[in-house]
Structure 1
């Protein structure tokens, strides 16, 4: 378990906990460790190299083995990436010629295969999956590796630096408290990590607050098992905890099959419900949102057997319809019809400030005149101090996209990464209203910000979006939140995807769509189009029992469009969240670097694919007016079709969706640094070199080596810490 906890610390922080072991002369082993790390694009910081050199050789070797395993997973090098065409990217055939070759081989195979193929030819349509030569590797990984020259080192190859950490116990505790206290919802991978950490730290320091309900559920499960007090302030907190105890969905999106809890757990759940309702009977209004789940849970809890908790029994009476409780939404609609938008805003300001902020656009548009709009804004000003910082910033992002200058389309992205686009028929917010609301939100954000005495900022991080939405990012390496923009420099852009089926035969297909400046399709690369002017596809692999990889190689200078949209389709079998493993990434190479199809040193991003849809759009690439390419992060999972998804079937959808997302302006790190600068904080651009000798707050893509002790560091791994509570 020590190695598992250490793996979590390294993956989340890029810090290596101080190894437990005797002092000694480990200098030679530490240097060898550093060299081994460099082969996969990582490196020890100078301080970490020095610290390891003072440990015994046995300690360093054991630490190196564990760490190498961890970073290989981070970059996607823990599996063997084979390709269908052994010489890829060279000698990839024309699609039609390749298919004809597969048919010819089938006609020369055994009698059954030949007869089946002839019958398909007579019918005018051949199923490629019935051809013996199609979809399965024709050579071993070793044969593929032998066919490629060594990678030529380049100064542009990625180097990710590992820094020294505190003891494992201190690092695990700090990571647990950081994830539990995150003000933004965690993705499924990080939520699972929090569950592991909570089980090991439930008896330790207690989080000051757990703002996100899903995180609260997994921590409460660990606290309940440890016999400690729970974080419960709504009836839905108890429902989520019950789902966690049954290993169900704490997001409440999917139906949980409740198991009969143990008697101590049953008593804890009912006692928690009773306390919540006794403290605020209005919380019963939340039951209706999950009525069926409550009824099923009641069958397991038997509340009638515990008369000492009468308020808990009321929850199930409401769920069964035996007692009616007016909902806040219903009360708001009544007041809106009777007293107008200002009256509804006043009710929400007192009863549900967060709901007011989420409804503010509608209320402002519903106001009959300027006086009523002033009343709505006055209610928002009164409620602002009691609204979460994430919601304040989310509304600020919303307002800056409601000035009437944007595209006439609205894009919606839900918490699972699902997205859809529709016409924007709303009237724009009046400029004076937008300006007043913007000033209010900026002032409230600045009031909450932990403004440092000195701020050191890497300019490359300024266009990184703040992680405000539920699934704004994904687990992996080099991953940025949805909406972020980052430069892409290199001659060759290579996408890769890997998947391994769990139970069912599964075929995932990697594709890349090229769009022009009007978002219309120019061309694409996929298993149906193996070679174009832009580049080549590595070939379709349809059997992933032992894992499978596909690649696309693009020459950026040859791209005829303005956008490149890589995507992964579930053609058949298991979704991304059902397979044993699935991830996507991209590499950048200089012309002439050679190397195998997958070279970890050239990987710029590797992102786990664990969403519920059947089409994944991790990011898009855009060429700017100067001809330079930039990555725009999407993290989307589209529903797609039940089977046979492919790029040709979604050309218009992809164009419309990419346009709506690209033309939307996200709230970025730049916004917060500008607020801090306006408040008088000295902001110094970080251009490399030797960091200042005194402690600073550093915000950047990577932690510099040599920061003074006591410095606060914000990188993509903990970007959520920038968002005020």
Structure 2
């Protein structure tokens, strides 16, 4: 499934077309229209340009390409599996929770075999009652019980654009990913690895270290010079060669290197291991030790500086890093010395700006140092600090910390306040530098719906999928009925995931929930609990928005038992929206608004939150959070307080959005001559040669 062609289709929403047009008219036009009709059944359609190009191809070529395109988009939307439901008539005829359990208990008492186990058990485990946790009908039975989906003008239609050749599409995507200023998601890193092997050319600039490590693997195999300027670049490359974590967040198990590869790594290390850079070694001391055991630097006396790296790792040679020297100065109250040290590393100074402003030294001196540092820091650092500062004056329920895997935790905010005049000057310094760096995008055409999308300052916690937006993004909710869904398939052991929803009032109190312990209330209903997913399992929750008694709805997926999200053979979450009168199967692909894989080390997934505004309209805000949870038996009731605090902190945080950069671009002005469109999906009437920026390429807005 993850071929380069299918990746281009699902991630870029473009169909690469390499084949030449037919020399004589054939049945390509008929095949193209048949493909378009099949795509519409899952919520996609061909753009006019794509349809016209397909119509000029041989019919057999269109059919072959159509099979691949349809398979790719069905996987993207989650329609590649059969979504059964525990209650065959869902959302109708779902019993009351107590009524359901009483029925199962009554059924067990009437079963002679089950009756004996129930009577002689010292404690009754309701989950082991006969008939619980498994489908009681086939998927064919489910289809027979549901009429066809009633078509609606509000059904999702995603346009697939005409692409160039696969080589050209891959090259364009490769340059976009490799040149991004934003750390990539795991899936993007994997795609970049495939693209680096496929594409011969490379972008001139690769700012993100993880991207550089992946590209260096391809360069090493091809015998080309490596792109390294720090010792850590070499460590990342070594980890990548063994399929390890190039982000260095988790240890890599090194095996034996071929002699030529050992020599190449030590040569690269020797070239960058200057005394000033040896201070970085202590950050990953243990991994350096393990790498040294495999590289045998003592066998290569012509690379003496490479040997110094491993001496630092073993503690034989001292090389205090910048961070340790700064911390020593701050601990001793020598803030001025700390600022002088940080002036050599502009990005590090700006990351510590909040701390330095609260350190008791001259605020004016710190801001003067920051004003000098902004020119040497990355655009992503400038924007991240800008977002931090615009939230600094607001009172918050607590501070939320999110790691690269989306794992979140909260802590009370004990920081001393910063004066408003100080924050205002710092923000002005940042905006001036950001504006200076913004490129000339020509005439801007902006879809108003994209203005509230958060800037993607990190892609690590966001698994790509359909309709995905960065954490903190806001978008409108269409339709009168929300339907959440989760699907999972276990790899080796019985696995039970539970789809649940926590509902809160506007003050994040008065909680109620829907889950396997509470099947329904006056406006929501649950499809039933599946406890084993050897052949795949799906669960659903319906929310009738007009009747909702709460203003905040938080869907979540709890791991009750079994495999973690990243251990399961497959696991994904999404939501559909429908009009009130629309019926159909529990899963209807053309009503899916969002679908994405579940991953991460947490045992509770919080993908997004639905919010009702003062005007009564509903909006969705993206979370991309995972709670650690317990090893087993996670339930929505058990994490209510943590979930409420985390969600409130995300909802109340003022994220830096596309609106901010658009305002700066318009203030800066343009020389004209070309057009750039920024939106959720490109319209068909843009001038030829226009640049298009959609959520999949939003990282291209982040200045260098």
Shorter chain as denominator, the TM-score bin is over 0.9
User: Which residue pairs with 1:146 in the alignment?
Assistant: 144
1:291-440 equivalent positions in 2, closer than 5 A: 291-336=285-330, 340-350=334-344, 352-368=345-361, 372-403=362-393, 405-440=394-429
Cross-structure match for 1:712: 691
Q: Distance in 1 between matches of 2:431 and 2:493?
A: 51
Give me the whole-angstrom Cα distance separating, in 1, the residues matched to 2:272 and 2:106: 72
Give the Cα–Cα distance (whole angstroms) in 1 for the partners of residues 598 and 529 of structure 2: 19
Match of 1:186 among 175, 184, 187: 184
Residue 620 of structure 1: aligned partner: 609
Q: Is the 8 A contact 2:440 2:671 kept in 1?
A: no
- 2:525 corresponding residue in structure 1: 536
2:19 touches 2:57 (CA, 8 Å); kept in 1? no
Partners in 1 of 2:568 and 2:510 — Cα distance?
A: 31
Change (3 A) 1:102 1:449: same
Distance (whole Å) between structure 2 residues aligned to residue 454 and residue 339 of structure 1: 51
- SS at the partner of 1:706? coil
Counterparts of 1:175-254 in structure 2 under 5 Å? 175-201=173-199, 204-254=200-250
In the alignment, the residues of structure 2 paired with residue 312 and residue 546 of structure 1 have an alpha-carbon distance, to the nearest angstrom, of 52
Bigger mean CA offset, 518-527 vs 13-22:
13-22
Q: Is the deviation greater in 509-518 or in 261-270?
A: 261-270
Match for residue 687 of structure 1?
none
1:258 aligns with 2:254: yes
Following superposition of structure 1 onto structure 2, how do residues 396-545 of structure 1 map, counting pairs within 5 Å?
396-403=386-393, 405-545=394-534
Q: CA deviation at 1:106?
A: 2.7
Q: Label 1:115 to 1:255 Cα distance change in 2 as closer, same or farther (>3 A).
A: farther
Output the CA distance in 2 between the equivalents of 1:652 and 1:105: 37
Offset, 1:472: 5.0
Q: How far off its partner does 1:408 sit?
A: 4.6
Give a deviation string over 1:495-548, Cα, whole Å, max 9, x none: 001111112221111000101111124311101111111211111111111111
SS state at 2:277 partner: helix
Match in the other structure for 1:19: 18
CA distance in 2, matches of 1:585, 1:333: 44
Alignment equivalent of 1:93, drawn from 87, 95, 108: 95
Deviations 1:665-695 (A, max 9, x none): 0000000001111113499xxxxxxxxxx84
CA deviation profile, 1:366-424 (whole Å, cap 9, x unmatched) = 133xxx21111111111111111011000000000002x33252111121111112221
Output the CA distance in 2 between the equivalents of 1:493 and 1:66. Answer: 30
Task: Verify the 8 A CA contact 2:554 2:608 in the aligned structure 1.
Answer: yes
3-state SS in 1 of match to 2:82 = coil
Change (3 A) 1:261 1:618: same
State the partner residue of 1:115: 116
- Unaligned segments of structure 2, at least 5 residues: none
Structure 1 residues 429, 525: CA separation in 2 closer, same or farther (over 3 Å shift)? same
The whole-number CA distance in structure 1 between the counterparts of 2:145 and 2:670 is 56
Is residue 455–residue 681 contact of structure 1 (8 Å, CA) maintained in 2?
no
Kindly report which structure 2 residues correspond to 1:166-181, keeping only aligned pairs within 5 A, or say none.
166-181=164-179
Structure 2 distance, partners of 1:396, 1:561, is 34
CA offsets per residue over residues 230-258 of structure 1, 9 Å max, x none? 22122111111111111112222222211
* 2:642 is the counterpart of 1:653: yes
Which of the residues 35, 48, 52 maps onto 1:46? 48
Whole-angstrom CA distance in 1 between matches of 2:559 and 2:330: 46
What is the deviation of 1:339?
Answer: 7.7
Per-residue displacement from partner, 1:123-162 (whole Å, max 9, x unpaired)?
3x42233222111111111110110010010000000001
Contact 1:482 1:635 in 2 (8 A): yes
> Counterpart of 1:606?
595
CA distance in 1, matches of 2:112, 2:179: 63
TM-score between the two structures when normalised by the length of structure 2: 0.97
The CA RMSD measured in Å over matched residues stands at: 1.7
Q: 1:475: Cα distance to partner?
A: 0.9
Q: For 1:337 and 1:500, how far apart are their aligned partners in 2?
A: 51
Partner of 1:665: 654
Pick from 44, 65, 68 the counterpart of residue 66 of structure 1: 68
Matched residue SS, 1:627:
coil
Distance in 1, Cα, partners of 2:239 & 2:62: 42
Q: Structure 1 residue 21: deviation in Å? A: 4.2
Q: 1:319 to 1:152 in 2, by over 3 A?
A: same
Contact 1:137/1:541 (CA < 8 Å) preserved in 2? yes
- Stretches of structure 1 that go unaligned for 5 or more consecutive residues are 684-693
1: distance between equivalents of 2:671 and 2:581? 44
8 Å CA contact 1:185, 1:470 repeated in 2: yes
In structure 2, how many angstroms separate the alpha carbons of the residues matched to 1:682 and 1:568? Answer: 50
| Aligned-partner Cα distance in 2 for 1:174–1:682 | 25
Distance between the aligned counterparts of 2:30 and 2:668, measured in 1? 50
Cα 1:501/1:521, change in 2 over 3 Å: farther
State which drifts further: 569-578 or 664-673: 569-578
Deviation at 1:637, TM superposition (A): 1.0
Q: Is contact 1:521-1:651 (8 Å) kept?
A: no
Shift of 1:41: 0.3
* Deviation digits for residues 427-454 of structure 1 (CA, Å, limit 9, x no counterpart): 2221121111111111111111113221
Separation (CA, whole Å) in 2 of partners of 1:637 and 1:270: 39
Partner SS state of residue 91, structure 2: coil
Q: Report how far residue 22 of structure 1 moved.
A: 4.2
Deviations along 1:296-353, whole A, 9 cap, x unmatched?
A: 1111111111111111111111111111111212222344467843432232122x11
In structure 1, the partner of 2:267 is 271
- CA displacement at 1:194 relative to structure 2: 1.4
Matched position secondary structure for 1:366: coil
Question: In the aligned structure 2, how far is the partner of 1:214 from the partner of 1:622?
Answer: 36
How many residue pairs get aligned? The number is 701
How far apart in 2 are the matches of 1:682 and 1:153?
46
- The SS at the match of 1:74 is helix
Cα pair 1:150 1:596 within 8 Å, conserved: yes
Q: Which residue is equivalent to 2:676?
A: 697
Q: Secondary structure in 1 aligned to 2:516? A: coil
